[in-house]
Amino acid sequence: MKINIFKAIILMVGFSFLFNACVKKEFTEPESTCDDQNYTITHTIAQLKTLFTGDTLRITEDIIIQGTVTSTDQYGNFYKEIVIQDSTDALCIMADASYMYTKFPVGQKIYIKCKDLYLGKSYDVVKLGSTYMEYGIKYFGRIQGQAFIDDHFIKSCDNNPLEPELITLADIGPFYVYKLVKIENVQFKGEELNSTYADVTNLESINHNIIDEDNNTLIVRTSGYAAFAGDSLPKGSGTIIGILGKYNDDYQFYVRKIDEVDFSQERFAEAIFKDFEDEDLYSGGWEVYTVIGVSWGIDYYSGNNFANCSNYNYDTGENEETETWLISPELDLSAFTNPFISFETACNYSGSLLQVKYSADYTGEGDPNNATWSNLAPSLSPGSWNWVNSGNLNLQENTKYVAFVYYGTNTSGKTWEVDDILIDENAKK
């Protein structure tokens, strides 16, 4: 059979086109020139930020700042933002641009011409950006237009990455917002270890928490688009490097790339602290088992949240027979020396005392009465809503669970409140 050569060539070209269309092409970094002409730096970053007095401010002066890039969008955990830092402070700049790392990699020193840009607050942090209109209302947001960005962002010929500043979790505060920092002797909280940095399937950001040996914590926030979003959280302890951010009242830590998390050391004994300020009775693995009657709940008074239990039914005006257990997550105290528990209680009215128990054989499921429990002897509130500290109550190293047990009858029952539960040790091995 004869084949038309012209048709064969067309078919070959077509198959070649289809094959190439199905192959994911690597992003080619464009050539990027630098500019070392003598720009006059008029303000430090700290001086620029002092111009913001509360309202979004258009910069009308010929202000030029200089800083070193400390984070980019290269690994997906920073979106349309670039962070720069000088010897005085750090600044987040919002720009509607992609692949910014190809021109402004980490370590790149850049000049920013600030005239016609805006200083404003985004989630309670002063940033540099621009404004946009939506439904007739002006908002503070990203700098728009690539030509405009290119005119205001000048790349120098100096690339020298900054060394992170060593801080502790106790140091976290406004002074370090958007600075490059290094934190040692921390680990991810135990109840979060069977997780990944973010939700890579649904491309959703997730907050996790790191903790130090003094029970200080810090949110580590990771974007679902981060290159390491699907990586499992490391189970050890060690050092983490990244950018400290802030979202309203919460300080948040952003990892730049995964090799800046070195948790290769053994985990340290992790204290458990429950203060109910998240308004969640069950967070941290706490559970409630109600044998009969009413259950534990959360209450609030004078700016403070706490666990609360009362067997008084306001609808009927009567007490209900009640037995309900507030039970800790499973404990591993094997790394502790002299473990203890302490907490605060308040109460009012008449009825049974709150009981505090610990067990080495409770499984964490089912009726706790089927397990063996030993009683602790805490100092308890005498009533009138007076808060009293329990004192440090010694636990056995094989303790698996502790529980707060409320009892009430159909004729009486106190209201008990529990707060600031701490399970810790007097010395680390």
Domains and CATH numbers, the chain: 45-159 (2.40.50.140), 165-265 (2.40.50), 272-428 (2.60.120.200)
User: Beta strand pairing status for 108-113 and 64-71?
Assistant: antiparallel
Task: Return per-residue pLDDT of the chain as tens, 429 residues.
Answer: 444 444 443 434 343 433 343 333 344 444 567 777 778 999 999 999 999 999 999 999 999 999 999 999 999 999 999 999 999 999 999 999 999 999 999 999 999 999 999 999 999 999 999 999 989 899 999 999 998 999 999 999 999 999 999 999 999 999 999 999 999 999 999 888 889 999 999 999 999 999 999 889 999 999 999 999 999 999 999 999 999 999 999 999 999 999 999 999 999 888 899 999 999 999 989 999 999 999 999 999 999 999 999 999 988 999 999 999 999 999 988 888 899 999 999 999 999 999 999 999 999 999 999 999 999 999 999 999 999 999 999 999 999 999 999 999 999 999 999 999 999 987 554
Phi, psi (degrees; rounded to nearest 5) at 96:
-80, 75
User: Beta strand pairing status for 415-428 and 312-313?
Assistant: unpaired
N-terminal to C-terminal alpha carbon distance within the chain: 85
pTM of the model: 0.76
Compute the distance between CA of residue 100 and CA of residue 378 in angstroms, rounded to an integer. Answer: 59
Phi, psi (degrees; rounded to nearest 5) at 200:
-75, -20
